[in-house]
Amino acid sequence: MNGVEERLREALGEAAATVRLEDLRPLRAPERARRRFRVDLRWAAAALLAGAAVGGGVTLLPPPAEQSHTAAVQPQHGMTVFFCIERIGALKCRDGAATQEQMNAVRRRLESLPEVQSVTFETPEQAYERFRRTFTDKQRFAKMTVADMSPMFHALLRPGADVRRAQSVVQNMPGVFMAVTTDPDTW
Amino acid sequence: MEAELLLFRDAPVDVASIFAAHHLGLVRLALLMVGDLATAEDVVQEAFARTHAGRGRLRDPASVLAYIRSAVLNQCRSVLRRRATVFRKALPYDPPVWSAESSVLLGEERREVLLALRDLPRRQREALVLRYYLDLSDQEIAETMGIGASTVRSTIARGLAALGRALGEKA
Q: Where are the domains of chain B?
A: 10-93, 97-171
According to DSSP, the residues that pair with A154 across neighbouring strands are: A80, A120
A176 has which bridge partners? A83
Is residue B8 over pLDDT 90?
no
* Alpha-carbon torsion angle A65, A68, A71, A74, nearest 10: -160
Residue B110 to residue A14, Cβ atoms within 8 A? yes
Q: Is A34 on the interface with B (CB under 8 A)?
A: no
CATH of B97-171, one of 1.10.10.10, 3.40.630.30, 1.10.3470.10, 3.40.50.2300: 1.10.10.10
Distance CA A57, CA A107 (A): 21
Sheet holding A152-157, edge to edge: A116-122, A152-157, A78-83, A176-181
- The answer to whether B35 and A59 have CB atoms below 8 angstroms apart is no
> Coil, strand, or helix at residue A56?
coil
* Number of domains into which chain A is organized: 1
B window 58-117, beta carbon within 8 A of A = 97, 102, 105-107, 109-110, 113-114, 117
Coil, helix or strand at residue A33: coil
Contacts of A124 (CB under 8 A, 6+ apart): A85, A146, A147, A149, A150, A151
Cβ pair B36, B95 in contact under 8 A: yes
In sequence order, which residues have a C-beta less than 8 Å from that of residue B135 and are 6 or more positions away?
A: none
Instruction: Calculate what percentage of chain A has a pLDDT beyond 90.
Output: 14
| Residue B160 pLDDT greater than 60, yes or no | yes
Question: Looking at residues B45-68, what average pLDDT do you find?
Answer: 79
d(CA A117, CA A114): 8
The mean pLDDT value of chain B amounts to 78
Closest-CA distance, A9 to chain B, in angstroms, reads 5
Mean pLDDT across B45-59: 80
Q: Is residue A5 part of a domain?
A: no
**How much is the pLDDT for A114?**
92
Burial of B52 (0-12, 13-18, 19+ CB in 10 A): buried
Domain housing A55: 34-186
DSSP B2-38: -GGGG--TT-SS-HHHHHHHHHHHHHHHHHHHHS-HH
- Number of CB atoms found within 10 A of residue B156's CB: 19
Chain A residue numbers touching B19 (CB-CB < 8 A): 27
Q: What is the mean pLDDT of the segment spanning B27-52?
A: 87
C-beta neighbour count of B12 within 10 angstroms? 14
Largest CA distance in chain B: 54
Average pLDDT, chain A: 72
Q: Is B128 on the interface with A (CB under 8 A)?
A: yes
Nearest to B132 among A5, A24, A29 (CB): A5
Question: What pLDDT shows up at residue A142?
Answer: 60
Give contacts of A11 with chain B, Cβ < 8 Å. Answer: 106, 109-110, 113-114, 117
Residues 6+ apart with CB under 8 A from A179: A79, A80, A81, A82, A167, A170, A171
pLDDT tens for A132-173 read 776 655 554 566 677 777 888 888 888 888 888 888 889 888
φ, ψ dihedrals at B49, nearest 5°: -60, -45
Angstrom distance (rounded) from CA B21 to CA B15: 10
- Judged by a CB distance cut-off of 8 A, whether residue A1 touches chain B is no
| A23 and chain B in contact, CB less than 8 A | yes
CB pairs under 8 A between A and B: 99
Chain A residues touching B169 at Cβ < 8 A? 3-4, 7
Cβ neighbourhood burial of B151 (10 Å; 0-12, 13-18, 19+): middle
- Residue A51 counted as domain residue: yes
Between A110 and B19, whose confidence is greater?
A: A110
Which of the four pLDDT bands, split at 50, 70 and 90, describes residue A63?
A: very low
Give residue B171's pLDDT: 47
CATH of domain B10-93: 1.10.1740
Domain of A46, CATH number, reads 3.30.70.3040
Check: CB of residue A82 under 8 Å from CB of residue A180.
yes
The angle that helices B138-145 and B122-132 make with each other, rounded to 10 degrees, is 140
> B44 and chain A: CB distance < 8 Å anywhere?
yes
**Is the Cβ pair A24, B41 closer than 8 Å?**
yes
To test the contact with chain B by mutation, choose from A1, A19, A32 the residue with the greatest count of B C-beta atoms within 10 A, namely A19
Out of B24, B129, B133, name the one closest to residue A19 (CB). B24
List, for residues B127-155, the tens digit of each pLDDT value: 999 999 988 999 989 988 989 999 999 99
Sign of CA dihedral A26, A30, A31, A37: positive
